[in-house]
Structure 1
């Protein structure tokens, strides 16, 4: 028997007071009064449980708006663009002058089965976030692979502004090499100015710092040092340090996946250029307060490199003269040969490198064998230059 039936029976049949029944069952007197009045007006129907749903919902969105939400969700997803609640709300406001909260949009998407749960996704609160204060204060860079229609793999390198998320340069190549990384950096500087610093992972096209010191600076490292640009690299096996450019590449791949696979590198570059225009100028970014990267990049002054009084690269190398009497050294990522003489073949040596000036010393006797000033334009260094 329901408690409502007990209450009504106690009042109507037993003749007890409302206050007495309310005290016995732990109820309010006003609720007992309303229940008895309902019984006298409706009879046994008063015993049935009633919904607590309000008669009106002033904040509910109309079926027409729900249809717009669903259409925007499908349209954005088909284009490979972000189709989350915040983005949908932005498009509703910009294109239809309709204001809806992201929470309301998300509820409707969940009710319609349009949201896929992802319980394994790492929570945003677990990340240590950082952000440059000014455009050009820090550029992030990384490269990823993409497949053409014939199944061949190419690589895409990105330079992204950390402060504004502005995609400064996104270009496709057969393979990313050290010279290509340096060349894309130079082209980006020509278009947008020189940054104060760069942030990349430890790929050999960006840095040789984990190569054991054998190769010296590569082309990009030498270029950054010459310009006074601070070079920063993430810890090994820590991709979240470069999370902004990593996330950009995920967005790019999602957009490319929604399109016809390109048959050539030029076709892929055309698609990338189209995406870059959309990303920079027409796609709202959540971390920028729903502003576009282009607007964020242009509204603040640009940072510039800090003055660096000592840009010379010093290093010490141990090597052995080969059978032809030559020892090799890398400069700007290129290998150069220094002739010592066949009389010294197989001799262990120490190379003291001071920028382009190198001292070759016999490891056993301490004799100075040669001290050439490196000519970066020549592979084999002339013997007469010391």
Structure 2
């Protein structure tokens, strides 16, 4: 029987102390401590060479493994991690193919273990499992749906806030722009969208949240001034449900990388901050492999839109079945000379169509997009007003 497991080290020390007294033979010590003679001689030999440190248990793991990753590959992994500190094992392994032959490149798990061994893996907080929320859109082709948002503002070194506007293709994840603005408003957003549309074409739909200037939960169909401009270009604005940013999760995930790369820490002023944002866009599109794209880059997966940006908005011809009325400066239309029907201040100066469905119910359109219903039976007295509603109650 070997040493007692709970007091192995104590018994080894006691054995050596008894042996050093010279009062006992090896056979007597072996019988007393219930160990074999080879074990006793091995223990004495280790004590004579290393002292009491030699009595500690020695790992039986082999010193070398026949399939061990070569030193130059390990150095390549560590070098890539130093260059791209926010990337994980999958993306770093993909880049190894640029410098090494395939048979020398380890698996994703091995790359992760090498990074972990060198203290380069940050443990992630375990998240509570929740019921999955499926995305509203699952595009099959590039330019079917684009996503856009203002990344949360952050202070620059000069104590002024930067508001980065990001626009990306939902299929290829290609990031068209990350433009720093001083304010989140219609003028700034429209200027950047115009620049992107001129270069890359226009999508069929544009997916955003409900924040200004993209959407408003108080407006008809959540449309804003910017939304109506998209409609005029032939783009349908679509929105995530209120308080559900996970419905545009691929865009939010990109924002996390952008924040880590450009806002921690931030640059001194907007000019320097924009250089950081531009550098992130180039790296994200052309260098960083994307797991959802089979470890290809967004630039390798994206194709330009065939829908060209119209420099001049074309007039829209409403069907003859609709009554066309111009919206006044207060966002309402004059109905039968002495009633008011309120729509939205974002529509002032524009023409809307009213289609009668019977029993005093009218459907309201802006161009070919349905806005809501209007019930003229609610108008009881002159100069009274009502609102267009999205649903009939």
Does the TM-score normalized on the shorter chain lie above 0.5? yes
Query: In the aligned structure 2, how far is the partner of 1:237 from the partner of 1:199?
Result: 15
Q: 2:148 aligns with which of 138, 141, 147?
A: 141
Mapped to 2, the partners of 1:75 and 1:124 lie a distance apart of: 35
State the 1:354 CA deviation: 6.0
Distance 2:79 2:298 in 1: 25
**For 1:62-98, what per-residue CA distance to the aligned partner results, in whole angstroms no more than 9, with x for missing partners?**
3443333233222322xxxx33111221232223445
Q: SS in structure 1 opposite 2:251?
A: helix
- In 1, the alpha carbon distance for the partners of 2:131 and 2:80 equals 28
Residue 268 (str. 1) matches residue 273 (str. 2): yes
Deviation at 1:163, TM superposition (A): 0.6
When structure 1 is superposed on structure 2, of 139-148 and 112-121 the one drifting more is: 112-121
Please say if 1:57 is aligned against 2:65.
yes
Q: Secondary structure at the match of 2:98?
A: helix
Q: How far off is 1:367 after superposition?
A: 6.8
Q: Give the Å deviation of 1:276.
A: 1.2
Output the CA distance in 2 between the equivalents of 1:99 and 1:67: 12
C-alpha contact (below 8 Å) 1:154/1:173 kept by paired residues: yes
Per the alignment, residue 284 of structure 1 pairs with 289
Is 1:101 matched up with 2:114? no
Query: 1:140·1:244 contact (CA, 8 Å) conserved in 2?
Result: no
1:69-80 equivalence runs, <5 A: 69-77=77-85
Unaligned runs of 5+ in 2: 4-35, 44-56, 309-315, 350-361, 368-373, 386-393
Cα distance change, pair 83–225 in 1 and its aligned pair in 2 (3 A): closer
The answer to whether the aligner puts 1:68 opposite 2:76 as a matched pair is yes
CA RMSD of aligned residues (A): 4.6
Q: Distance in 2 between matches of 1:260 and 1:212?
A: 35
1:220 paired residue number: 226
TM-score by length of 2: 0.62
CA distance in 1, matches of 2:118, 2:231: 56
**TM-fit CA distance, 1:201:** 0.8
TM-fit CA distance, 1:183: 3.6
Q: Which residue of 2 aligns with 1:200?
A: 208
Deviation at 1:175, TM superposition (A): 0.7
- Indicate whether 1:132 and 2:130 are aligned: no
Deviations 1:317-370 (A, max 9, x none): 998x9xxx998967673767xxxxxxxxxxxxxx997659xx9x994425799x
Taking the aligned partners of 1:203 and 1:327, their CA distance within structure 2 comes to 29
**1:120 equivalenced with 2:133 (yes/no):** no
Equivalent residue, structure 1, for 2:30: none
Change (3 A) 1:50 1:164: same
Compared CA separation, residues 294 and 212, structure 1 to 2 (3 A)? closer
Q: CA deviation at 1:151?
A: 1.5
For structure 1, which runs of at least 5 residues remain unmatched after alignment? 4-38, 337-350, 370-386
Q: Distance in 2 between matches of 1:367 and 1:127?
A: 47
Q: Does the C-alpha gap of structure 1 residues 114 and 271 become closer, same or farther in structure 2, counting only changes over 3 Å?
A: closer
Q: What residue in structure 1 maps to residue 180 of structure 2?
A: 172
